[in-house]
Amino acid sequence: MGKKLAVTGNQAVATAMKQINPDVCAAYPITPQTEIMQRFASFVSDGEVDTELITVESEHSAMSACIGAAAAGGRVMTATSSQGLALMWEMLYIASGMRLPIVMPVVNRALSAPINIHGDHSDSMGARDSGWIQLYSENAQEAYDNVIQAVRIGEHENVRLPVMVCMDGFIISHSIESMEFLPDEVVKEFVGEYKPLYSLLDVDNPVTYGPLVLPDYYMEFKRQQHEAMGNVKEVVLEVAKEFEKVSGRSYGLFEEYRLDDAEVIIVILNSAAGTAKDVVDQYRDKGVKVGLLKPRLFRPFPYKEVAEALSGAKVVAVLDRADSFGGFGPVYMEVASALTTNGARPLMLNRIYGLGGRDFMPEHAETVIEELKRVLDSGKIEKQKDYLGVRE
Amino acid sequence: MATPLRLKELSKKEELLTGGHRLCAGCGAPIIIRQVLMAAEVPVVAANATGCLEVSTTIYPYTAWRIPWIHTAFENAAATISGVESMYRALKKKGKIDRKIKFIAFGGDGGTYDIGFQSLSGAMERGHDIVYICYDNGAYMNTGIQRSSATPLGANTTTSPAGRVIPGKVQPRKNLTKIMAAHGIPYVAQSTPAHWRDLITKVRKALEVDGPAFINVLAHCNRGWRTSTNTTIQDTKLAVETCFWPLYEYENGKLRINYKPKEKKPVVEFLKTQGRFKHLFSPENEHLLKEIQEYVDREWEALLREEGMWREGSEEKE
């Protein structure tokens, strides 16, 4: 079995990257991702990995170099946060459009303005339509496990898409917690050898990457991306099953926490889910039928499965750590869409919390559960979208 | 053994950019690309910035490229090729590839002087073993002749139109070749497709150095320069004969001017053939012609002085 150590989330992710030992890594420093790249640069300097590290002059070039490297037929990784992800925006769509399985840990951080370096999900949630697979992680252990599984998911022959692995900035990236590492050789064997389909370095069989595609063919390219995304759920579950064999830890498309007979349900992802689960336990002890659903795979979103898991619910509160001004939060929109697929019509609330790294405390979860109870009794919703822990 | 620099021998080489692409008749870009690819004696992989060359050579499901080629976006040909080159080094180190391959990025002046400037500078500083070739036609021709920082002083473009108050572009062009030389990279040069021996020789030198190289190549554009389609080579020669576009190179920082016209022609000889400068020949713009001549003279003399300093330096050593 692996070693148990107390590490930061960044250290966990950097270690996963070391064990994966990608061929090329191109990255640019940004808070709170920086520690990952610093640690990885030391692995390169000390010969602990064989990776060619490209210390680019911007995140735009980081993703551009990753795309060039991936098209040249090897395994490629980078990591970023917030403004860095925003600067990559243009290239995110190109990485997925070219079907290049780049793996990128995203250490979630708020977007400017005003500038703020702390954790919320506005960066990765904004990138949800970029054609990347997105996995969310509650803690360092999940981030580590997700990064290792992401390699297999993205590179699967039925998928061939880039993957973001998201974890909360500072709350997870800079907090020390105890977690278990897999032995190096186990990870090496688990990720296996990368086999490219078309490589720019195969000079005897030249390929053209990134041609101009006009209205006569463009839509078929996009339809194929949808097709590939459609294969992801199955691959995620298949990879999770194999991962469980080597790690003893089980993963699904999402985590169901005390959902079985739950009448009121909280949907929440990443670190705040941990806090909320404790509060769910307290209310369960008091006899309240409350449960929690924590999405893991956000893109593609498992609509049918989420709808099934929530089918017994009477009231659902979806908590979002990102906002869509003039709209509902991104997780809420997906859960609401999911519930249209099976005819279930629970009452729904959307609560925005924790923007710019504001703490999500147990009393915030309590406030939500109390409100869920009130709505359950009265059948009435006062405010469908509201904010938690904010000065009005 | 390198193919001898004779047209007869070069013409026997396989064309790596095939005919049938949709670039304009008389366009300078494909002439440059064919000469560049002719110069290479080992397999090359190319990255291409968004622009005329990219859109016109790869209209799906066709491609004119017989070499591995990648286009990702406008501002990042240098970053993209640095990723390709890094993967080559990574796989070579691991014994997964053993062939010698060279890497070239192509960009127009917009993708190189302007939007791609940061990624170009970054890639050069990092020392990748790449050659960046800018085909400089002096404006954003692909989007319809908008001014770039490579557009010459006085030129009429759609965003620096010769109007009643403002007579075309009011700023001289950025001297990118010198800016690239200031990066201290092993090889930097300026050339044209009208001087094929010069261009091919320079591309060979650029491919031979271990590290980054940059070549700025003047690319005639009959749409933007407002000429007919059959004057590409003669107009380009005039750019060199007037010293508007001198042929020179920096080898490990040392400047050499490759061609000094016996009689430097006045710059109007170059300007008067092109519609984009037509307005400069009306009486009220006479001062601009003088200004352009002064600018060209100043740049040329600075080049001569700089080369002289190198010569004096080496004579002292001898």
> What is the mean pLDDT of the segment spanning B133-143?
98
pLDDT at residue A209 in the model: 98
> What is the mean pLDDT of the segment spanning A25-51?
98
Regarding whether A115 and A231 lie in a shared domain, the answer is yes
Chain B residues whose CB is inside 8 A of the A55 CB are: 126
Regarding whether A159 and A80 lie in a shared domain, the answer is yes
DSSP secondary structure letter of residue A262: -
Model confidence pLDDT, tens digit, residues B86-107: 999 999 999 999 999 999 999 9
Q: How far apart are CA A365 and CA A363, in angstroms?
A: 5
pLDDT at residue B314 in the model: 66
Give residue B313's pLDDT band: very low, low, confident or very high (50, 70, 90): low
pLDDT at residue B318 in the model: 47
pLDDT at residue A2 in the model: 79
Provide the CATH number for the domain around residue A344: 3.40.50.920
Q: Which residues pair with A351 in a beta bridge?
A: A319, A386
State ipTM: 0.97
Query: Is residue B316 predicted with pLDDT exceeding 60?
Result: no
B95 touches chain A (CB under 8 A): no
Residue A32 in domain: yes
Closest-approach residue (CA) in chain A for B86: A52
Regarding whether A217 and A151 lie in a shared domain, the answer is yes
Model confidence pLDDT, tens digit, residues B42-63: 999 999 999 999 999 999 999 9
Q: How far apart are CA B115 and CA B159, in angstroms?
A: 16
In the listed set A200, A232, A247, which residue is the last one of a domain according to the structure? A247
pLDDT at residue B311 in the model: 77
In the listed set A221, A247, A273, which residue is the last one of a domain according to the structure? A247
Residue A183 in domain: yes
pLDDT at residue B317 in the model: 54
Closest-approach residue (CA) in chain B for A95: B72
Give residue A337's pLDDT band: very low, low, confident or very high (50, 70, 90): very high
Regarding whether A96 and A19 lie in a shared domain, the answer is yes
Q: How far apart are CA B149 and CA B161, in angstroms?
A: 15
Query: Is residue A330 predicted with pLDDT exceeding 60?
Result: yes
Contact A167, A108 (CB under 8 A): yes
Give residue A230's pLDDT band: very low, low, confident or very high (50, 70, 90): very high
pLDDT at residue A90 in the model: 98
> What is the mean pLDDT of the segment spanning B285-304?
97
Give residue B315's pLDDT band: very low, low, confident or very high (50, 70, 90): low
Regarding whether A91 and A224 lie in a shared domain, the answer is yes
Chain B residues whose CB is inside 8 A of the A29 CB are: none
Give the minimum alpha-carbon distance from A108 to chain B in angstroms, rounded to a whole number: 25
Which backbone phi and psi does B60 adopt, to 5 degrees?
-55, 140
> What is the mean pLDDT of the segment spanning A64-82?
98
pLDDT at residue A392 in the model: 87
Closest of B266, B263, B257, B52 to residue B146, by C-alpha: B52
Closest-approach residue (CA) in chain B for A215: B60
| Cis, bond preceding B61 (omega within 30 deg of 0) | yes
Give the minimum alpha-carbon distance from B60 to chain A in angstroms, rounded to a whole number: 5
Mutant choice from B52, B86, B120, B126 vs A, greatest count of A C-beta within 10 A: B86
Model confidence pLDDT, tens digit, residues B216-232: 999 999 999 999 999 99
Regarding whether A300 and A198 lie in a shared domain, the answer is no
Model confidence pLDDT, tens digit, residues A128-152: 999 999 999 999 999 999 999 999 9
Q: How far apart are CA B218 and CA B27, in angstroms?
A: 11
pLDDT at residue A344 in the model: 81
Mutant choice from B69, B76, B89 vs A, greatest count of A C-beta within 10 A: B76
In the listed set A247, A274, A308, which residue is the last one of a domain according to the structure? A247
Regarding whether A214 and A128 lie in a shared domain, the answer is yes
pLDDT at residue B3 in the model: 87
Chain B residues whose CB is inside 8 A of the A20 CB are: none
Locate the domains of chain B by residue range: 7-317
Closest-approach residue (CA) in chain B for A53: B86
Q: How far apart are CA B121 and CA A57, in angstroms?
A: 9
Scanning chain B, the segments in alpha helix (DSSP H) are 7-10, 28-39, 52-57, 77-93, 109, 117-126, 176-181, 196-208, 222-225, 232-241, 268-271, 286-317
Taking residue A173's Cβ as centre, other Cβ atoms within 10 Å add up to 29
Residue A392 in domain: no
Provide the CATH number for the domain around residue A95: 3.40.50.970
Give residue B1's pLDDT band: very low, low, confident or very high (50, 70, 90): low
Taking residue A308's Cβ as centre, other Cβ atoms within 10 Å add up to 14
Q: Which residues pair with A315 in a beta bridge?
A: A264, A347
Query: Is residue A224 predicted with pLDDT exceeding 50?
Result: yes
Q: Which of B63, B79, B91 sits opposite A64 (nearest CB)?
A: B79
Regarding whether A205 and A123 lie in a shared domain, the answer is yes
pLDDT at residue B215 in the model: 99
Closest-approach residue (CA) in chain B for A211: B58
Residue A325, domain extent: 254-387
Query: Is residue B249 predicted with pLDDT exceeding 60?
Result: yes
Model confidence pLDDT, tens digit, residues A118-129: 999 999 999 999
Q: How many degrees, rounded to 5, is the angle at CA B148 between CA B146 and CA B150?
A: 130
* Average of per-residue pLDDT values in chain B: 96
B70 touches chain A (CB under 8 A): yes
Please, what sign has the CA dihedral across residues B43, B67, B35, B105?
Answer: negative
Closest-approach residue (CA) in chain B for A200: B68
- CB pair distance less than 8 Å for B119 and A76: no
Regarding whether A175 and A59 lie in a shared domain, the answer is yes
A55 touches chain B (CB under 8 A): yes
pLDDT at residue A140 in the model: 98
Residue A324 in domain: yes
Contact A182, A247 (CB under 8 A): yes
Q: How far apart are CA A264 and CA B172, in angstroms?
A: 69
B101 touches chain A (CB under 8 A): yes
* Strands of A254-257's sheet in order across: A254-257, A290-295, A264-267, A315-320, A347-352, A385-387
Residue A199 in domain: yes
- CB pair distance less than 8 Å for A211 and B99: no
Binding-face residues of B in 12-51 toward A, CB within 8 A: 43, 45, 47
pLDDT at residue B308 in the model: 93
Which superfamily does B7-317 belong to?
Answer: Thiamin diphosphate (ThDP)-binding fold, Pyr/PP domains (3.40.50.970)
- CB pair distance less than 8 Å for A201 and B88: yes
Q: Is B32 helix (H, G, I), strand (E, B) or coil?
A: helix
* Average of per-residue pLDDT values in chain A: 97
Chain B residues whose CB is inside 8 A of the A211 CB are: 58-60, 63, 71
End-to-end CA distance of chain B: 33
Q: Which amino acid is at A87?
A: L
Q: Which residues pair with A55 in a beta bridge?
A: A27
- Count of domains forming chain A: 2
